[in-house]
Structure 1
Amino acid sequence: MKTIKLVLVTFVATLGLSSCSSDGDDTPKIDVNPMAEFNLISNIAANGHSLELYSEGKTGFTTGYNQLFVRIKNNADDTYYANPEITWKPVMHMMSMEHSCPISELSISNDYDTVATGYIVFQMPGNADEFWDITFTYEVEGQEFSVTETIDVTAPIDDNQTVSVFMGSDDVRYVLAMVEPKDPEVAVNDMTAMLFKMESMMSFPLVENYTVTLDPRMPGMGNHSSPNNEDLTYDTATKSYKGKLSLTMTGYWKLNLKLLNSTGEVLKGEDITEENEASSLYFELEF
């Protein structure tokens, strides 16, 4: 009987050691691809590297606000560089001039140290004779590299206006871009926009502490509006303008806007009245 008990104890102990061993360093690790659910919209090969550009919802570059994610791959071993230092500069090459557009810095994601994220606001699409390119300057393993790539920027498929470039009554040229909602619903939607001024052909700094008034209308339905809208005011945390957009039914909406400076002076846009059915400053959406 004592012999049987001893054999059982030895067997159980062996199982325990085997189990512990399977949980050790020999367990294969699963590589997580942080971009698995995103769309690869450009892959730029240069200097023995691949610069991969991703978008969360778009399949290419479009006019308006584009949030982008960038990774740099070492083509020699198919690994991605952690915490790379990257800057970018988009330029529109027109027949008679060149200009840039509003951009953010590229910053490393809080979740993945191989992913840098930022935004570009393209004011206009390219065409057969005029085109956009982006120059990336980056540093990895103590070396600095640069690459310039031509990109195709198109108007949105629905052709709705989500960015407006205009001269204010203060003789300043502004760029106003809609960020949210991307997926509007019949509800009170969170609305976000970003405002920039054209300081020079290559510089478009953010504008703070203005107000964007909001009056959404349905031109095809008697130009009716909706309740519970809130004008867009500046949010210091996100450096953007936030408000509420009430959509009471599906269809085409024109979001009539007015831009007011910090003292309340109207720089662009008009009130909607029986005589004036639309503002000269507006966004469009259809869902």
Structure 2
Amino acid sequence: MKLKYILPILFLALATVACSSDENDDYTPPTSEVDGLQLIQELSNDTHTIELYNQSGLFYTGYNNISLRIKNRSNNEYVEDASITWMPMMQMPTMQHSCPKTNPEKVTGKNTIYQGAIVYQMTNTDGSGWSLMLEYTIDGMDYMVSETIAVMQNDNQNVSSFMGSDDSRYIVALVEPKTPIIGNNDLVVGVYKMENMMSFPVVENYMLTLDPRMPGMGNHSSPNNTNLTFNTADTMYHANLSLTMTGYWVLNLKLMNTDDEVLKGEDVTDTNEQSSLYLELEF
């Protein structure tokens, strides 16, 4: 082939490669709505598969923030408009009970992700005993799915269930910080009251006094801590938690009602190193 025919073909090939390279440089692969989350478990009925996610891929005792999505088994498409409630249930030898929970709601900016919370206050040593039932509505049709789940014991006490001096049972659960730092931390705690075996509403407008201590370091405290007060925006209790070093911390608490009556907990003194109401952190 003559040179005058070879050169145009060569230039055309180079231009094609260059355009293809430019297109690849601009291409952004689609982002999954569950990126950064780990699949915990799938619950299935004849119509749908419910995928449960969180950051660890496991349920633990304490406060669990859970994401889910609903997949239609006939076409593998994810549902974008559903109304969902759930009921966690612990089966005891002679009784059963539920726990504090927030029903899943659609996550802003997500097409298929719903998010809610469950506070497991106890579990068996092997993680057994719990089941989870979901009831949901799609396009006016009602569905239900229920299966057993495993709930593992957290290494530290991040939830406390106790009888208050008013003869009511309360549950106090650590929500934040998930990753503590040296310095000031946003401390967030949920407080719930047991109405009956199935109902655990949020307790409003009480107060938790806070006294963090390091038992392994002379039981010293830290500066600039504040007491936990109720926030109406998220129905949680918030405070500043000051951690001056890494290690094992006990967050000594006292739960006080609107009349400033102590329902549970004691001050830390020279003769009383720890409150009977406490949560733990280690980092």
Common fold, TM-score beyond 0.5?
Answer: yes
Q: What letter corresponds to residue 161 of structure 1 in structure 2?
A: Q
Equivalents in 2 of 1:166, 1:118: separation in Å?
24
Is contact 2:64–2:117 with CA below 8 Å preserved after alignment?
yes
* Greater alpha carbon shift after TM alignment, 119-128 vs 201-210: 119-128
Q: What letter corresponds to residue 34 of structure 1 in structure 2?
A: E
For residues 179-258 of structure 1, the aligned pairs below 5 Å read 179-258=175-254
For residues 40-189 of structure 1, the aligned pairs below 5 Å read 40-55=39-54, 57-127=55-125, 131-156=129-154, 159-189=155-185
Computed over aligned residues only, the root mean square deviation of the Cα atoms, in angstroms, reads 1.9
Equivalents in 2 of 1:266, 1:33: separation in Å?
48
Cα separation, partners in 2 of 1:97 and 1:168, compared to 1, 3 Å: same
- The number of residue pairs the alignment matches comes to 260
* Greater alpha carbon shift after TM alignment, 31-40 vs 84-93: 31-40
Is contact 2:68–2:113 with CA below 8 Å preserved after alignment?
yes
* Greater alpha carbon shift after TM alignment, 238-247 vs 42-51: 42-51
Equivalents in 2 of 1:60, 1:181: separation in Å?
18
Q: What's the CA shift for 1:112?
A: 0.9
Equivalents in 2 of 1:93, 1:246: separation in Å?
39
Q: Alignment partner of 1:220: what SS?
A: helix
Equivalents in 1 of 2:72, 2:29: separation in Å?
20
Instruction: Identify unmatched segments of 5+ residues in structure 2.
Output: 1-18
Instruction: Identify unmatched segments of 5+ residues in structure 1.
Output: 1-18
TM-score by length of 1: 0.87
1:279 to 257, 275, 279: 275
Cα separation, partners in 2 of 1:29 and 1:145, compared to 1, 3 Å: farther
Is contact 1:47–1:145 with CA below 8 Å preserved after alignment?
no
Equivalents in 2 of 1:142, 1:264: separation in Å?
48
Q: Alignment partner of 2:101: what SS?
A: coil
Is contact 2:128–2:150 with CA below 8 Å preserved after alignment?
no
Is contact 1:43–1:51 with CA below 8 Å preserved after alignment?
yes
Query: What residue is the counterpart of 2:5 in the other structure?
Result: none
Q: What's the CA shift for 1:130?
A: 5.7
Q: What letter corresponds to residue 208 of structure 2 in structure 1?
A: V
Q: What's the CA shift for 1:128?
A: 5.8
Equivalents in 2 of 1:186, 1:279: separation in Å?
23
TM-score by length of 2: 0.88
Q: Deviations over 1:20-56 (max 9, x none)?
A: xxx9xxxx9964311021111011121231100010x
* Greater alpha carbon shift after TM alignment, 190-199 vs 43-52: 43-52
Q: What's the CA shift for 1:75?
A: 1.9
Q: Deviations over 1:62-117 (max 9, x none)?
A: 10000001100012222101121111000100101100000012111111131111
Is contact 2:170–2:191 with CA below 8 Å preserved after alignment?
yes
* Greater alpha carbon shift after TM alignment, 72-81 vs 246-255: 72-81
Q: Alignment partner of 1:80: what SS?
A: coil
Is contact 1:93–1:130 with CA below 8 Å preserved after alignment?
no
